[in-house]
Amino acid sequence: MPFAAQDIRAARLHLQKSDPVLKQIIKQVGPFRCKVNRNRFESLVHSILSQQISGAAAKTIKSRLALATEPDGLTPDALLKFSAEDLRYIGISRQKAGYLQDLAEKVGSGQLKLQTLARREDQAVIDELIQVKGIGVWTAQMFLMFSLARLDVFPVDDLGIRNAISQSYGNGSDLERQELLELGASWSPYATIASWYLWRSLDLPDA
């Protein structure tokens, strides 16, 4: 389900009241616009594909994979029809091909039940997802934020988040991890919304 309008309003009010720096960022960035990918399998595939490559490269590979899986779409069965060499031809590294095949096998066999994750707590979702090869805490957090629309996720190890905080809170200097966690705690229960605004702040003209 998408982020509820009332939650977004409450989040903006809370963040503007609790954090003067974020208040200015919210003013500059404007309305919260975040799309939720309801296709949970596709969301995880895309997260794996996006690891350690540029956004442009990831977009190209996603488009190729989408074209290759037509007309059935990106499903576990469709993905398992490809060999590692087939996926390499699309532009997916051998390592990531292994990750995708492991994900497809676990979802296809029912070992990983994506449809039940929405009923579980954030940490339980993370614990479940990291059993898949190639899915770590960061990827699981992205899933919580952009597939399950969880409101209070703070990806403290995300490079973009750290860069945005360095620019906006540290005058260009990196904050210690404990400082980052304390800052994130002040945004609770809307750390997801705060994180989205921090990512968008990197696109501002004076960023």
Task: Look at the block and give the residue holding tokens 């095949």.
Answer: 101
| Residue (of 41, 12, 42, 49) closest to 29 by Cα position | 12
Mean local confidence (pLDDT), 132-158: 95
Radius of gyration of the chain (CA): 18
Q: ∠181-185-189 over CA atoms, to 5°?
A: 140
| pLDDT for res 175 | 86
pTM for the whole structure: 0.90
Helices and strands per DSSP (H, E), number in the chain? 12, 0
Q: ∠122-146-24 over CA atoms, to 5°?
A: 100
For 187, counting Cβ atoms within 10 Å of its Cβ (0-12 exposed, 13-18 middle, 19+ buried), the class is buried
12-16, 45-49, 71-75: which is most confident: 12-16
The pLDDT tens digits of the residues spanning 74-132 come to 999 999 999 999 999 999 999 999 999 999 999 999 999 999 999 999 999 999 999 99
**Which domains can be identified in the chain, with CATH numbers?**
5-35+153-201 (1.10.1670.40), 40-146 (1.10.340.30)
| pLDDT for res 1 | 66
Q: How far apart are CA 170 and CA 177, in angstroms?
A: 13
The pLDDT tens digits of the residues spanning 152-186 come to 999 999 988 999 999 999 777 788 999 999 999 99
- Work out the percent of the chain whose per-residue pLDDT is above 70: 99
Collapsing DSSP to helix, strand or coil, 47 comes out as: helix
Q: How far apart are CA 155 and CA 9, in angstroms?
A: 22
Two tokens, residue 124: 């339980």
